[in-house]
Amino acid sequence: MVIFSVYVVNKAGGLIYQYDNYVPRAEAEKTFSYPLDLVLKHHDEKVVVSFGQRDGIRVGHAVLSINGVDVIGKNTADGKDTLEYLKDAANYPVSIRFGRARLSSNEKLMLASMFHSLFAIGSQLSPEVGSSGIEMLETDVFKLHCFQTLTGIKFIVLADPRQSGIDALLRKIYEIYSDFALKNPFYSLEMPIRCELFDQNLKSSLEIAEKAGNFGAGS
Amino acid sequence: MSRQSNRTTDSKKMNSELFTLTYGALVTQLCKDYENDEEVNKQLDKMGYNIGVRLIEDFLARSSIGRCQDFRETADVIAKVAFKMYLGITPSVTNWSPAGDEFSLILENNPLVDFVELPDNHSTLIYSNLLCGVLRGALEMVQMAVDVRFAQDTLRGDNVTEIRMKFIKRIEENLPAGDD
């Protein structure tokens, strides 16, 4: 039972807090010799595999690091273009780590504001008056739970579909927010939350919720 | 963390006299800084507002109260739940206007003003004006614009402390989705 991530969205739809609690399992690191038998291409500011799937490296996986050093966008850590670097025989043998590209923080911001708009659409589509917005979104890999407070702040939790007790967890996160973010006088409302105590308490309540998983109240 | 376990029992016992002293020190320092009762009243209201916008989330998180259907319900929640939770007193709700948009909270005793006497040169000072700001800020965050003022004040010679609250309008901008 795993809780994957927590997002907090403010009244205007901006992401003010985000925490990822999962380690992507589909990563592969291999050593290659010249010439590289995978075909790579640029896609969305990243270098991804377009042909040559094998050994756990799949089409669509992005280059995450070269020789242990994380790449930055299309370039290596030294600032050289990754594709150029890999075309040069002098740089081999090279160890490259491939994996599913993680969302950048800009992408997360965009997705959060998109969710904010979809949430509103949820209540507008309703045949009955006075419906709430989207409370749950389900896919075969995860369930997204959303709780909106009376003041317009949304707490969003992505968890394993079998995880229970998420409602209680959302209320707990609301309490942690009202304690460690709001009672900190140096935290301004609606701004990104950068409070250590909030992080620590959030992590420990996620751990408690994961352990209680099967025995907690139904979500 | 010990702070975390205290939260569910919700009564961190603190000496209320420290609270009275702290508030008193705050007001007297403001009087020294601004030297003008009107200005001090305004500052107290502003400070109260900043407290109110944060306190409302704490209140909602702890009390799990849902949205109130009308102003009467709001008045009851404020008097019976909120004041009880934060100041330990339960004011009574009276003097409803005919239109149902204005009411009074009558406080028998006000913890902020234990042991306080207003001197003659501060006759226009509204000592507990922080409370007005708190109520205004908190209700604004749940989309209600209200006007809050002290109608009577024991510090200025009246028998009871009376807070008059008037509903102005619903705040339509930035409504959370799902509210009509």
| Interchain proximity A150–B54, CB inside 8 Å | no
- Report the pLDDT value the prediction gives residue B1, as an integer from 0 to 100: 41
Complex confidence, ipTM? 0.84
Specify which of A48-52, A80-84, A196-200, B114-118 reaches the highest per-range mean pLDDT: A196-200
Tokens 């025989």 found at: A89
Query: pTM, whole model, 2 decimals?
Result: 0.83
Contacts of residue B141 in chain A, CB cutoff 8 Å? 151
Higher pLDDT, A68 or A138: A138
| Interchain proximity B176–A150, CB inside 8 Å | yes
Give the integer Cα–Cα distance in Å for A190 and A183: 14
Check if A180 contacts B (Cβ < 8 Å).
no
Compare CB distances from B177 to A119, A149, A201 and report the shortest one's residue. Answer: A119
Instruction: Give Cβ neighbours of residue B46 (< 8 Å, ≥ 6 apart).
Output: B133
Q: Give pLDDT tens digits for A42-89.
A: 887 788 888 888 777 888 888 888 888 888 777 887 878 888 888 888
Q: From A174, which residue of chain B is nearest by alpha-carbon distance? A: B61
Compare CB distances from B60 to A150, A179, A183 and report the shortest one's residue. Answer: A150
Check if A201 contacts B (Cβ < 8 Å).
yes
| Interchain proximity A122–B142, CB inside 8 Å | no
Q: Give pLDDT tens digits for A94-115.
A: 888 888 877 888 889 999 999 9
Tokens 């620590």 found at: A200
Give the integer Cα–Cα distance in Å for B88 and B36: 31
Percent of chain B surpassing pLDDT 70: 91
Q: What is the mean pLDDT of the segment spanning B113-130?
A: 90
Give the integer Cα–Cα distance in Å for A141 and A158: 10
Contacts of residue B67 in chain A, CB cutoff 8 Å? 150
- Report the pLDDT value the prediction gives residue A90, as an integer from 0 to 100: 82
The two tokens of residue B16 are 């209320």
| Interchain proximity B58–A178, CB inside 8 Å | yes
Q: How many residues does chain A have?
A: 219
